[in-house]
Amino acid sequence: MLGGNLAHYLHLGLGEGGRILPVAFATFGLQGEQLPILVAHPAVIDFLQGATLIVSVLLTIVLTQKIARQPMRSLFWQHLAAIGLGVSMWAIIVSS
């Protein structure tokens, strides 16, 4: 699931990504003390990670149904596996 990958890297993008400008200036020996640092609150990052995982599991189910054009009962185990992967990614990404 691509949503799990995105949810995993939201922590880096929203937490440490706001420090790119000061670190880049310091790398080249320039003074980057006046540059803004934009860092999201950890609760916001957790919420966005959870929402990304939920939406990606739902989209996986809907798009699989649409592509396969099979009855729901014939794809039940595949949908159950997608839900299981989403739950396990939740435990690894959001709960840690």
How far apart are alpha carbons 68 and 32 in whole angstroms? 53
Residue 6's pLDDT is: 94
pLDDT tens for each residue of 64-95: 999 999 999 999 999 999 999 999 999 999 98
Give me the mean pLDDT over the 26-51 stretch.
Answer: 89
Residue 23's pLDDT is: 84
Mean per-residue pLDDT over the chain, rounded? 91
Residue 51's pLDDT is: 96
pTM of the complete model beyond 0.85: no
